[in-house]
Amino acid sequence: MPEHDIAPQSHNGAALLDPEPERPATPPGDLSDAVSAPGRELLAVLARHLPRIRAEAGPNDRDGTFPAETFRAFGVDGVLGATVPAELGGLGVSRLHDVAVALLRVAEADASTALALHAQLSRGITLTYEWEHGAPPTRALAERLLRAMARGEAVVCGAVKDFGREVTRLRPDGAGGWLLSGRKMLVTMAPIATHFVVSAQAPMAGGETLLYAPIVARDTPGLSIVDGWSGLGMRASGTLDIAFDDCPVPAGDVLARGSVGAHSDAALAGQAISSVAMLGIYAGVAQAARDFTVDAVARRSAEAPAASRTLVAEIEARLYTLKATASAALVNIDELSPRLEMDSGERGRRMMTPFQCAKVTVNQLAAEVVDDCVTVVGGATYVAEHPLARLYRDVRAGRFMQPYTYADGVDYLSAQVLGLERDNNYVSLRATRPADSR
């Protein structure tokens, strides 16, 4: 490991202030360690929280309780600002690879906590991009939020999926600002959110529909939090619905996100960056299942039967495979992330294609690993609160994570490979589908 990797001045992931920018280590390919110094620092900080997270995982799953205290402690320790640049007060983790490793560690203890934390860490990455490359009002907004995230004071959720057949819409308020109305579902980390980044449509004169992402503070008039979701798994992720009733949003708090039907692949970069680190969560779920199982089998007095030895070997091979595949997709995005000189569509596709390949594999293999672990450990796992039963429920969330469902992933990948024209922006694509088929 080169010594400059651990130099004291290296808390800063951004190259600007550092005359000798840190060169990340070669990623080990198995998500076993961070490649950047800030990433390693984040792992060290998180390690202190893992015992509590692990201890609360079962009860929170049973009750569907969000681990608010853990997130409060995250705020105190800077975890909520882990991906905020150092010069704005954050830990400066900029590598998605390292974010995924951190989420893997958390998910080994509790997948729900990792899923909620992902929302914040991912937001730090994308707001940093806005801060570096946005228009002046956007930069100011991003800076304000990022600084608050670093202080543990801002918690920023994404709200993408419309509830039912209703479309969440922005309309001009007549005074240069906007009014937001609609309802979003599956908003993770919502119980402690201070802000929501909301996917919204704005129909324009002429028939075009523009896409926006207004950032709405929790105390905005007209915003209400609707309880009620009780998940099959990921039950402690604080996943709720949010309703908007003519919520006022200043023009400067609205990010442009293209238009419906534009078929612009430039959007893919941000969508890949926002979601790819979630692969670490499912790697953590599979790792936890594997570790539990190996421990259980190794402690038995009787020799492991033939099928258990075969399954244990297959579990090991699949876990290695899923981590290697996730790692490759993460490193690829990390490499492309700063290459803004590239054609933006090309850059987007070159991020998204390996990510989608990895997502298909991670979703499948993580579920297979957990399932084989259940088989190996046996009937004792078939209890609602058994750790493997929780993992069996949690792991199934993977296929539903953004940006693409399995069916959309197949459409995307096959279109890429066969050279077919297609709208790859999933927000735009959904907006063009009948409400019952979104």
CB of 309 to its own copies, least distance (A): 4
Give the nearer residue to its own copies in terms of CB position, either 51 or 164: 164
- Binding part of the chain for its own copies, among 132-140, 261-269, 279-287, 402-410 by CB under 8 A, reads 402-410
Sequence-distant (≥ 6) Cβ neighbours of residue 134 within 8 angstroms: 142, 255
The residues with which 213 forms a beta bridge, in sequence order, are: 255
List phi, psi (to 5°) of 21. Answer: -60, 140
Binding of residue 65 to its own copies (CB under 8 A): no
| Shortest distance, position 14 Cβ to its own copies, whole Å | 18
The nearer residue to its own copies, 24 or 182, going by C-beta atoms, is: 24
Which CB atom, from 340 or from 383, has the smaller least distance to its own copies? 383
* H/E element, 126: helix 111-133
Region 109-138 residues binding its own copies, contact defined as CB under 8 A: none
- Residue from 5, 304, 345, 346 touching its own copies (CB under 8 A): that is 304
How many angstroms separate the CA atoms of 189 and 211, rounded? 24
The answer to whether 168 and 199 have CB atoms below 8 angstroms apart is yes
Contacts with its own copies in 362-401 (CB under 8 A)? 367, 371, 374-376, 378-379, 381-386, 389, 392-393, 396-397, 399-400
165 binds its own copies (CB under 8 A): no
CA atoms within 13 A on the CB side of 14: 18
Which amino acid belongs to residue 295?
D
* Single residue of 14, 45, 226, 328 touching its own copies by CB under 8 A: 328
Q: Which of 235, 257, 347, 349 binds its own copies (CB under 8 A)?
A: 235
Nearer to its own copies by Cβ, of 255 and 329: the residue is 329
Q: Based on CB atoms, which residue is closest to its own copies, 259 or 293?
A: 293
16 binds its own copies (CB under 8 A): no
Q: Which stretch binds its own copies (CB under 8 A): 36-44, 86-94, 273-281, 329-337?
A: 329-337
312 binds its own copies per the rule CB under 8 A: yes
361 is a contact residue toward its own copies (CB under 8 A): yes
Angle between helices 96-109 and 111-133 (to 10 degrees): 160
Q: Which is nearer to its own copies, 127 or 388 (CB)?
A: 388
d(CA 258, CA 219): 27
Which of 318, 423, 426, 428 binds its own copies (CB under 8 A)? It is 318
Q: Where are the beta strands (DSSP E) in 36-177?
A: 156-159, 161-162, 169-172
Q: Bridge partners of 13?
A: none
Gap between the Cα atoms of 186 and 67, Å rounded = 17
Query: How many Cα atoms within 13 Å fall on the side-chain side of residue 61?
Result: 25
Three-class SS of residue 243? strand
Helices (H), 337-382: 344-377
Could you say which DSSP state residue 395 is in? G
Of 41-49, 114-122, 149-157, 354-362, the segment contacting its own copies by CB under 8 A is 354-362
Q: Applying CB under 8 A, which part among 77-85, 176-184, 264-272, 405-413 lies near its own copies?
A: 405-413
Check residue 324 for interaction with its own copies (CB under 8 A): yes
* Shortest Å, Cβ 234 to its own copies: 8
227 CB neighbour count, 10 Å cutoff: 10
Per CB under 8 A, does 214 bind its own copies?
A: no
C-alpha triplet 365, 369, 372: angle, nearest 5°: 135
* 170 contact partners, CB below 8 Å, separation of at least 6: 178, 179, 180, 200, 201, 202, 212, 214, 249, 254
The reply to whether 26 sits near its own copies by the rule CB under 8 A is yes
| Residue 307 interacting with its own copies (CB under 8 A) | yes
297 near its own copies, rule: CB under 8 A: yes
155 counts as binding its own copies under rule CB under 8 A: no
- Cα end-to-end distance, the chain, whole Å: 48
